[in-house]
């Protein structure tokens, strides 16, 4: 961080480069609140369900960038992951948070590869939903002949969820939606 960059600026920059709260890794859906204009959000490309929520990954996400950042829904505006909060408060450097984000991306890539091997390739669904679909198709830990690496996938998902709880989620009673 340069001398003229404030912790708040560093956190904002980090946020714009991350996308974990929008890509289906941290949350399954985003609920609209009073004051959110469902018609305007739909016109901006969000695929609203019952005009009350939209599923993740967000259709406004391009790479790790929100294409409607200035007009995003209230809950998106208000959400600050733990890494954002720590950087903004000056408690950790942005480089530490960026390293944690990269670590999660690596974990997700490994899970994505295991899910793809199991046939779960629909990236329009949140990661946890794709995982649940694959696991529901497996009656139990397979005996040696099954192509799905059951314990590898389960362990990878458990490690990811632990990392998200420890370093990213701010618990509010609803860890799978914002």
Give the pLDDT confidence of 18-46 residue by residue, as tens digits.
999 999 999 999 999 999 999 999 999 99
Q: 113-136 burial string, b = 16+ CB within 10 Å, else e? A: ebbeebebeeeebbbbbbbeebee
Is the predicted pLDDT of residue 132 greater than 80, yes or no?
Answer: yes
pLDDT at position 178 is 62
Residue 29 near residue 54, CB atoms below 8 Å? yes
Residue 165's φ and ψ, nearest 5 degrees, are -65, -45
pLDDT at position 141 is 53
Domain extents in the chain: 7-167
Of all residues in the chain, what percent are helix, strand and coil, respectively (each to 5)?
Answer: 50, 5, 45
Overall pTM surpassing 0.95 (yes/no): no
> Per-residue confidence at 122, pLDDT binned at 50, 70, 90?
confident
């Amino acid at each position: 961080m340069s001398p003229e960059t404030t912790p708040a600026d560093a956190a904002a920059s980090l946020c714009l480069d991350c996308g974990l709260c929008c890509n289906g890794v941290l949350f399954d859906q985003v609920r609209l609140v009073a004051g959110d204009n469902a018609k305007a959000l739909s016109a901006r490309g969000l695929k609203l369900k019952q005009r009350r929520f939209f599923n993740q990954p967000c259709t406004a996400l391009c790479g790790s960038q929100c294409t409607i950042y200035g007009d995003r829904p209230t809950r998106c505006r208000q959400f600050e992951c733990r890494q954002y909060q720590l950087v903004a408060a000056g408690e950790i450097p942005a480089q530490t948070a960026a390293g944690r984000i990269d670590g999660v991306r690596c974990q997700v890539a490994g899970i994505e590869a295991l899910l793809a091997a199991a046939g779960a390739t629909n990236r329009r669904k949140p990661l946890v939903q794709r995982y649940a679909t694959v696991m529901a198709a497996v009656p139990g830990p397979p005996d040696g002949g099954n192509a799905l690496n059951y314990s590898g996938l389960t362990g990878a998902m458990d490690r990811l969820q632990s990392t998200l709880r420890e370093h990213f989620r701010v618990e509010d009673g609803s860890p799978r939606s914002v």
